[in-house]
Amino acid sequence: MVNLLRPFLSALAVILFSINMVGQSLVQDTLTRTAPIFYDVMGNKVDFSPEMPPLNQIAGAPKAFYTYHWEFGDGNYSNKKNPKHTYKNKGEYTARLWSTNNYDNGKPPKSRPEKINITSTGIDGASASLDSSEAIPSIFPEDEHLIIRSNRDPLPDEEMVLITSYKNTKDYVTSGSLYLYYNDKKFKDDNFILEDTRLHHGEKIVPIDPMFAAQFDADESDYYMAGTEVIPRIRTKIVQDSTKRLVLPVTLEESRKLYRNHQLIEFENMQPGEERHIFRTLKTTPEMLKDTSALVTLRTIYVPDNNYGNHTVKDTELEIVTSHDPNKMSTNGFLLNYRLVRYKKVKFKVKFQNDGEGPANTIRLEVDTPEMFDKSTLEVIDMYPECPICPKEKEVNYSCLDTIAEKDKLIFTFKNIYLPGTAQKNVMERDSTKGFVKYAMKFGDDFHKKKTKSRTAIYFDKNEPIITNYSTTRFMPGISIGAKAGYIYTPSVDESREVFAGVTVSPFKSYRGYWQSEFFISAASFEELKRFESSDLNDIGIESLQRFTEKNKENNITAYLVPISYRYNLNNFLAFGAGVQLKLDFQSKISTETTGEAYLNIPDEGIIRDETNDTFQKTECTENFTNFNSGVFIGVNAGGVRIGPSVGVRYVFNFNQPTSQFQAYAIWKF
């Protein structure tokens, strides 16, 4: 039936595509593309093939192509376009396909799962899970028993498949556990939703007991012990993201602190040498971190035997992308703590793929690297193709990786290697055409708190370069608390004396512009002296004079608030700023003393003192929360304007009297 419908469906797809091209509009890329699954059943052997929609080539990129992830419904999978599969047992199986559009600016096509009904196991009673033409060696390197793969890098609001492959390397039947931890707590939003888990070997999803603290004995059959070091007897390759541990409760507690979500799967009766696969569909959330060079992690914990606490921890790094491009650059330094990063190395990873028709023998990666990195601290962590570092000032005829550090560039050159091309004949596994370099380095001694951008030009032999995305490092704002003290002068007030002390809050050690808030308390005293007189002439012509001296003294406890100000560092030693200042007297105590001296102005005798009519009056008044004032200011600082001590002056213009104010102060930022 499927074979009869196939020509009709193909013709319908062509017609629909033609109509779509005639009515093409700007919304074409938002349409859902489909890739229907076709298959031919011959006993227990099935040939699969998809009907793929045309690719939307990204201008200037290498030729677009599809990659594939097939699941056959019995625990086996394939990455070929047209796989052939032999089912071991009768029954109904669900075949699924996820295809990824590389160098394409549309959405990945969707494929509807198909039910495969197997009614025969073949004339020869075949028991192999794969036909001989499809047989492949074990995916596990020697002494490895856990491999984590994904069909694509995470792109916001898109599905990806996580393949967990595990193996029983014991010489007896085992029952164990697999833990998956996801959604790093260091990110505000969740990055993944676990939509589906497909199990094919009797595994069970069980809840994790939060009070779990069981104690296990260590199975030392595969290890030598020396202190706290665990050393495998045979180790052909050190896997950088995988560690073997002994105390499971400690690992689980550590993982709970790092991740928000988890899943526990238990398995039973795993035969010696048996390999199994678990498939999970993870939906990346729309809120997923949009930094296209950032790394998110998933943690897998494999307990091969529940009778012992021995376990393997594998942290899988996934690079956030905006399109599926195998040539890209990423970093774990997308958000750094400036106070601590000077003691740590920032990791970078450059991935590449040979899309040529033949193998590449020389691959050169020219990485733009800001000068604020200390290139003398460069450390190559991992690479593929795996080879030693080339000796300096000596030509060799074996495969090696040459590293050159220039002022603003790092150059990695794979020499004398063989990396097949995707268009090369007889290349069936696309992963064999990919490579990478993972390296780390520190910032220099005097680096500024500013964003860095790096990207890589990838040269395959003598071909034109492929330019990757930008890999960006950023710093968390951090918080800097400053202690501030100084003197305030108010020109319009006699004998003005005002001192203050307070705190400032700003981002830690900003490079150029930043916002700052301040709060400080002042103690102020103001004195004002007034003189005036009054006179009265009686009926006989004698003038009574009263000469008054009024002394006003004011003592205030005042709160100043700078809700927002903008400051700009010209360099390490000079900065200027402007902002808004609010002022309120918590307490204002006013004391007034008025002294009156009496005089008589007698005709022909002049002015004489009349002490009998002298007066003295004293009044005191206390007010709370009064004399609100607001204004704007400009100022300048000199010294350690980013961190440490500095001095500054500021002019404040208030909207109410007294209008002018000058501040001189010292500040120390921590």
AA letter at 79: N
pLDDT computed for residue 526 by the predictor: 83
Instruction: Name the band, by pLDDT with cuts 50, 70 and 90, for residue 395.
Output: confident
Chain mean pLDDT for the chain: 85
Q: Give tens-digit pLDDT for 176-209.
A: 999 999 999 888 888 899 999 999 999 999 986 6
| Backbone angles phi and psi of 267, in degrees to 5 | -130, 160
Q: Is pLDDT above 50 for 412?
A: yes
How many CB atoms are closer than 10 A to CB 462? 6
Least confident of 267-271, 323-327, 471-475: 323-327
Domains annotated for the chain, with CATH where assigned, are 1-136 (2.60.40.10), 138-325 (2.60.40.740), 329-473 (2.60.40), 480-669 (2.40.160)
Read off the tokens for 454.
């790096």
Q: Give tens-digit pLDDT for 207-257.
A: 866 444 344 444 443 332 222 233 222 222 323 356 888 899 999 999 999
Q: Is pLDDT above 90 for 367?
A: yes
* Cis peptide upstream of residue 507 (ω within 30 degrees of 0): no
Q: Is pLDDT above 90 for 631?
A: yes
pLDDT computed for residue 241 by the predictor: 57
Rounded to an integer, what distance in angstroms lies between the CA atom of residue 119 and that of residue 124? 14
SS3 string, 353-385, reads: ECCCCCCECCEEEEEECCCCEEEEEEEEEEEEC
In three-state secondary structure terms, 640 is coil
Measure Cα distances from 413 to 270, 286, 385 in Å. Answer: 44, 38, 11
In three-state secondary structure terms, 184 is strand
pTM summary value: 0.64
Q: Is pLDDT above 50 for 17?
A: no
Q: Is pLDDT above 60 for 602?
A: yes
Percent of the chain's residues with pLDDT above 70: 87
pLDDT computed for residue 132 by the predictor: 37
Cross-strand partners of 92: 117
Strand order in the sheet with 328-331: 328-331, 346-353, 434-443, 373-384
